[in-house]
Amino acid sequence: MQQTEICKFLKVFFSENGCAITETSPYSIQVQLTEELDKALMNRPFYWHYIEKMGGQPNLSTLSLKTDPNEEEGELIHFGSPRLHKIFSYVIEKGRFGQFFEPVPPEGNTVPLKPWLCLNGKIVYHCHQKKEEIFSIGLSLITGEMLKEFHSLVKGGSLKVSIPDFCFTLTPLIKPVSGIERIHKYLFHTIEKENHQWAEEAMCKMDKELALLERFYAGTAEKPPSYEKEKASITGLYAPSIQLEIINGGIFHLHNHPLTGFSLEE
């Protein structure tokens, strides 16, 4: 993330969360935190414990942040700063589950909305190294149709969290839980077709080091405690695995098919 991008992100984040922002310059802001954000970002549990016990009026913190090191006032925020990472985890925590509706303009007739399930996540390739790959898959809970890059299809629409007037939702034929299973199956299938040379290499390293370890202790009749520890360390280090980590997901009630675009807001 570039500094200008971070600056934009911060402004969106704080205003989304109901904080009053004063722009002191293009690259620095002053934010009056809400109670929730104060608790989430300021790391002062004792203060909050005290206030809640005593029933006092909390004195909410003000944050002064800058994204340009040349600015005078404020705490410098960059891609590595702990404050930003706290914000990141807060953002991710707050956006894990959703239920959204396409904003269909009222036309007199009642309109059915079809349910879709979407899972956004990462395939994590894990051994002594790690890499990740993002996936976003949508599944029609009526027809079982599956769409890749689902999120990029829907993210442009201004979806709502409550059902628009004159709309009704169709009951899914596929239950969300089975839907999740289907998506997983699809992912398993794709992963299995991939080339897993990385895992083979890791296993190879593991076997080599385990063999060395055996040889190292070959002469000792009774193996010392360090032997088991070292063995466990080596296995723990190299053993390859793949994790399907879900970032977020939700049920989407859509009138139009995602590939054809959505109704715009009135």
Partner 1 sequence: MQPPILTDNKWIEEFTEALNLQKSLSSWKQYNMAFETAQKNMISDFQTLEAPKQLPQLTFHDYQYDAARKALNEMNGRAILADEVGLGKTIEAGLILKEYMIRGLVKKVLILAPASLVTQWCAELNSKFYIPAVEQRKKPQWETVDIMVTSIDTAKRGNHAEIIKNIDYDMVIIDEAHKLKNKKTKNYQFVREVKKKFCLLLTATPVQNKLSELFHLISLLKPGYLGDEEAFNDYFQRGEHYGELQELIKKVMIRNRRDETEMDWPKRIVQTVPVRFSSDYHSVYQQICQLKQKMKEEYLSPQSGFLVLTLQREFCSSREAVFMTLKNAVEKREMPSEQMNQEFLNMMTSLNHLPSHPKADKVLDLINSWEKDEKVVIFTEYRATQLYLQWFLGQHGIRSVPFRGGFKRSKKDWMRQLFQNQAQVLIATEAGGEGINLQFCHRIINYDLPWNPMRIEQRIGRLHRLGQEKDVNIYHLAVENTIEDHILKLLYKKIGLFEGVIGELDHILEKFGSNHIQSHLSSIFSQSESEGEMRIKLDHLSSIVLEEENEEATHATN
Considering only residues 67-96, where is the footprint of partner 1 by CB under 8 A?
Answer: 69, 78-82, 88, 91-96
Q: Considering the complex, what minimum distance in angstroms separates the CB of residue 104 from partner 1?
A: 15
One character per residue 143-182, x = contact with partner 1 (rule: CB under 8 A): --------x---x--xxxx--------------xx--x--
Piece of the chain touching partner 1 by CB under 8 A; list 28-36, 59-67, 163-171, 238-246? 238-246
Q: Is 135 in the site for partner 1 (CB under 8 A)?
A: no
**Burial category of 191 from C-beta neighbours within 10 Å (exposed 0-12, middle 13-18, buried 19 and up):** middle
Is 188 a binder of partner 1 (CB under 8 A)? yes
Return the residue of 165, 192, 222, 266 that touches partner 1, per CB under 8 A. 192
CA-angle at 134, arms to 40 and 97, nearest 5°: 45
Q: Considering only CA atoms, which of 261, 252, 257, 248 is closest in space to residue 116?
A: 252
Burial classification of residue 138, based on how many CB atoms lie within 10 Å of its CB (0-12 exposed, 13-18 middle, 19 or more buried): buried
Candidates 21-29, 45-53, 166-174, 226-234; binding stretch for partner 1 (CB under 8 A): 226-234
Nearer to partner 1, 161 or 221 (CB): 161
**134 sits near partner 1 (criterion: CB under 8 A):** yes
CB atoms within 10 A of CB 116: 26
Give the length of the chain. 266
Cα–Cα nearest to 247, from 114, 125, 103, 94: 94
User: Quick one: 58 or 93, whose CB is closer to partner 1?
Assistant: 93
The 9-28 site mask, x for binding partner 1 (CB under 8 A), equals ---xx--x------------
Total site size for partner 1, rule CB under 8 A: 85
Q: What residues contact 82, with CB distance under 8 A and at least 6 apart?
A: none
Phi, psi of 245, rounded to the nearest 5 degrees: -100, 130
